[in-house]
Amino acid sequence: MAKRIFITATNTDIGKTYTTNKLLREYAANGVRVGAIKLIETGVVDNKAPDGMELLATLKELNPEFKDIILEDIVPITYELAAAPYVASRATPLDFTLLQEKIEKLEELCDVLLIEGAGGLLVPVDGSFMMIDLILFFQASALLVTHCSLGCINDTLLSLQALKNRNIPAVVAFNCRGGDENFETLSEPFFLNTGYDVMKVDKDIDTICDVLYNL
């Protein structure tokens, strides 16, 4: 079984796919055979899953063993409505058999498999499971991608507590973007002064990769 790392976030549009691509490139640059799968993607029109297409293009560039892998392998489940999977699927039970088959197929081609979630940790997947439950089911460690805007302290701590409650080993990565210049003044001091590591996606991706690999 490959090293499984589940990429999750404090909310939607935080930068999971962006971060996943950065991780793929960093691991590959260090000689690691990389793989990725986005279990569920919503907001997919005409069978074109934008996040999945981006990941597939990166994988074909970085890992020659993915030459015959198609989009449906990278994104096994898609829905047209851009909403939580529970809503987008009309509460259809999640096909765990399909997901497990795809993961096992990709794991034959890689040493590290990045599993990208959809939305945040407590996004409902179907009537029985939330996104956080998939981390445990697939026996993965977690990378929590969080934002750097005002409010990130609350959002980050809530998500970390949810992971802790389920005994899921996790690393936090801050995805600072344009307009987040006040992070160092408004939020970062709390994390630094209370013992949290502040690792930023654009500056510390090498350290993030190392910590995750050894988690």
d(CA 110, CA 73): 14
* CA–CA distances in Å: residue 110 to residues 33, 62, 105, 187: 5, 11, 10, 37
Strands 112-116 and 3-9: parallel
Residue 175 burial by Cβ neighbours in a 10 Å radius (0-12, 13-18, 19+): buried
d(CA 147, CA 132): 19
Catalytic residue among 3, 16, 22, 38: 38
Question: Is the Cβ–Cβ distance between 4 and 141 less than 8 Å?
Answer: yes
Q: Is 38 a catalytic residue?
A: yes
With vertex at residue 206, the alpha carbon angle to CA 142 and CA 178, rounded to the nearest 5 degrees, is 85
Question: Is the Cβ–Cβ distance between 143 and 8 less than 8 Å?
Answer: yes
d(CA 5, CA 96): 18
Strands 141-146 and 112-116: unpaired
Which residues are identified as catalytic? 38
